[in-house]
Structure 1
C-alpha cells in the first residue's frame, strides 16, 4: 500500500510539472508573438497616416506643373528601431500590400512637391489671372441712355406756360423717399409725353437726342424753340451690391461711368468681415471672380474697373473661405483669412498653434485641394529646412483647403504599444500564475 501511495504522488507531481511546462511554453510563444507584432506594428498603427507614393501615370500627369514627389511610403522611425518599407521593397509584406492598395486607390491624384520654383510659378499665374480680369472689366461702358422710369427736366425758353404740364409741386413734408422728383417721367413703354410735341419714344436715346426730337416736334408750333433737356433723376439703370458691405442694396447708375470702387463706396464700404480677395461679379449670367488684393499687388488699379447696368456684385465673407488644419498640430482649427483675403500655409499653421513638436513629423506636411471640383490636388512639403518655411510663408491657400500634418514614427509605435500592452500583461500574468 505504501508503494502504491508513493506511485500516485509521483504521478500527480509529474502531471503538475507538465502543466507548468506547457503554460511556460505558451507564455513564451505569446511573448514572441507580441514582440513580433511590436516590431511590425507600424504597418498596423491606428489613426490617420498619409503615404507619399505615386504611380508612373500620376507622375507623368503632374510633370507639366512640377517635379513629382519622391515615391516613399514612410520615414525612418529611429525611436522604435523600425524602418517603413519603400515602394517596391519586400522587407515587410504587410506594409508593401498596404502601400500597393493605397497607390492603386490614389493613382489618379498627383502629389506635387512644394518648392521655391513652384511657388514662383503660382504667383505668376495669379498675376496673369488678375490681368485677365482687368482686361475684362476695363472697357468703359457706353454713354447713359434714357430708360423706363427716368425723370427728365425739360425747359422751353420764353414759354414758361409749358411747365404747367408738370402739375403743382407737392409740399415738402408730404413727399416720401420713393416718390420721384418733379419732372417728365418716361413711362413703361419708354415714351415721353410733352405739350404740343405729343408722345415720343425716347427709351434708348441720349439726352441730346431727346432734345433734338423735341425741338423738331415743337418747331411746328413755335419759331425756333430753344429746348433744354437734362436728367432730373436716374432710375432706369442700376447695380445691385450685396454681401459684406455696410449698406447693401441697389446703386443707381448715372451718366458718369461707375467704377468698382465707387460702387463699393456707395454701398457703405467693406465691413470688417469682408474678404477683399473674393468678390464675385455676375454679368450676363456669367460669374467673374475678382481678387482686389492680387490686383493691387500686381500694380493694377481697381478704380479702372467699370460696372454696367444690370451687374450684380457680391462681397464674400472671410469665414466662408476658411481652410481646415488638422493632424499633429497643437490646436486643430478652421483657419480664417485676414482682411485682405490672403492666407498662406504658414498663417494657417500659426492659427493652429504651430505643429506639435512632440508628435509631428515635419517632413510629412500635406495640402489637399479641390476634392469636389473634379480636379483634386495634393501638395507635399518637407518642413525640416528653413527654405521650406519660406515656401510655407509664400504658398497661398485657397478656400476649403485641408492642411494635414502627419505623426512621426515614435507616435505610431506608442499607439501600437498602447493596444498590445494589455494583451502582453495578460499573457505574463497567466504565465506567472501557471508557475
Structure 2
C-alpha cells in the first residue's frame, strides 16, 4: 500500500507474477464471451422502412406499371437517386393503384405481397403479384475512424456482420488499432477487441450490426502509454497494428532500462490515475522470470510505466542539489571575512 499524502490517496500496489497475469487473461476471456453473447443475437429479416423503393409487378396487367412513371436512364441517375419503383413515404405508407394506401413499414416484402394480392382481388381475378426490393434506403449503419472510406453504409436483406461493415468501409487503415473498436448501440457504448477475440477462438463474424449502429475504429496513437524514469529513451510507446502492447514491448521501445541508473526491483505500472480508481502494479525485474511476466502483461491506453532509480542515483541527485547551496554559503563566508 502506497503511503497517502494530502495530494494523493492511498493506493494498493499489486505484485505482478505468473499466477496473477494468468488470472487477468482468464477474466478478460470471460468478459469477452459475455460481450459476444450480448452483442450477437440472431439477425432479424430485413423490415421495410421509410425511403425504401419497391418493385411491384402484377402479372398480365402491365398498365399498373405506368403508375411508376418514366423509367430513369442509367446515365442520368445520380448515385443518391433511388431506382425506379414505388417509394415508401416518410409515414411508412405505400400507395398502389386499386389497392390504395397501406402501411408497410416494419413488414417483409413477402408480407406486402400477400396484402397487395388480397387488396387487388376485389378488382382482378386471382391476381399474381411479385414484390421485390429495388433500393435499400431506410436502414443504415455508420463506420467512422481509421478506415479507408468512412461514412454511411446501407443495410440490405443480408445481415451485416462486423467484418462486412469494415470491408465495405475500405478495410482498416494503417493507423487503426484493431484491439479498440467502439460500437454505439441504443445509447450505450461497447469496446470491442478483435485481436483478443481471434486469439481466444471467438469469431467476430458472429457480431451483426443493427440499423442505426455506429462503429468507430480508434487510432493507435490515441492508445499510447507513457514510459518514464530510468530508461534510455523516455517516450510515448505506440501499440502494434493489432493494438496489443505489453510491458516488455513498452520498455523495449524506450530502449530498455538504463543499466547504470535503474533499480530493476522498482518497476511500476500506474493505471487509471484520473478515473477515481487508480491501480499500481509492481514488478521485480531482477529475475529472468520477470521478463516472461512483462511479456504477457498487457498494458491499457494511457498507462504509465515508471522505472525508479537506484540508491546511488538518488544520493547523487541529493548532492547535486546540495552542493550549489554549500558553495554559495562558503563563498558568502569568505566575502564576509
- The TM-score, its normalising length taken from structure 2, stands at 0.95
1:374 to 246, 270, 276: 276
Cα 1:428–1:170 shift into 2, 3 Å: closer
Match of 2:199 in 1: 297
Match of 1:214 in 2: 116
1:357 aligns with 2:259: yes
- What is the SS of the residue equivalent to 1:173? coil
Q: In structure 1, what is the Cα distance between the partners aligned to 2:194 and 2:95? A: 46
- Report deviation, 1:373: 1.4
- Report deviation, 1:425: 5.3
2:169 to 267, 270, 273: 267
Match of 2:73 in 1: 171
1:284 aligns with 2:186: yes
| Structure 1 residues without counterparts, runs of 5 or longer | 1-53, 56-101
- Report deviation, 1:108: 2.8
1:311 aligns with 2:225: no
The C-alpha deviation readout for 1:299-347, integer Å capped at 9, x for no partner, is 0011111111111111100000110001111111011100111000000
Which one has a bigger Cα radius of gyration?
A: 1
Per residue, is there more helix in 1 or in 2? 1
Q: In structure 1, what is the Cα distance between the partners aligned to 2:124 and 2:216? A: 52
| Structure 2 residues without counterparts, runs of 5 or longer | none
Cα 1:329–1:163 shift into 2, 3 Å: same
Checking the alignment, whether the CA contact within 8 Å between 1:140 and 1:257 is kept in structure 2 is no
Match of 1:12 in 2: none
- What is the SS of the residue equivalent to 1:163? helix
Match of 1:245 in 2: 147
Q: In structure 2, what is the Cα distance between the partners aligned to 1:200 and 1:239? A: 27
Checking the alignment, whether the CA contact within 8 Å between 1:115 and 1:388 is kept in structure 2 is yes
1:182 aligns with 2:89: no
Cα RMSD for the two superposed structures: 1.9
- What is the SS of the residue equivalent to 1:313? strand
Q: In structure 2, what is the Cα distance between the partners aligned to 1:278 and 1:329? A: 28
- Report deviation, 1:172: 2.8
Match of 1:73 in 2: none
1:144 to 46, 59, 68: 46
- Report deviation, 1:426: 6.4
Cα 1:107–1:184 shift into 2, 3 Å: closer
Q: In structure 2, what is the Cα distance between the partners aligned to 1:396 and 1:276? A: 15
Q: In structure 2, what is the Cα distance between the partners aligned to 1:196 and 1:306? A: 39
Identify which of structures 1 and 2 has the higher relative contact order when contacts are C-alpha pairs closer than 8 Å and 6+ apart: 1
Q: In structure 1, what is the Cα distance between the partners aligned to 2:329 and 2:137? A: 87
Match of 2:32 in 1: 130
- Report deviation, 1:126: 0.9
- What is the SS of the residue equivalent to 2:75? helix
1:226 aligns with 2:148: no
- The TM-score, its normalising length taken from structure 1, stands at 0.74
Number of aligned residue pairs: give it: 336
Checking the alignment, whether the CA contact within 8 Å between 1:344 and 1:397 is kept in structure 2 is yes
- Report deviation, 1:421: 3.3
Match of 1:402 in 2: 304
Q: In structure 2, what is the Cα distance between the partners aligned to 1:262 and 1:348? A: 33
Mean Cα displacement is larger for which, 359-368 or 409-418? 409-418
- Report deviation, 1:171: 2.9
Cα 1:224–1:418 shift into 2, 3 Å: same
2:250 to 329, 348, 351: 348
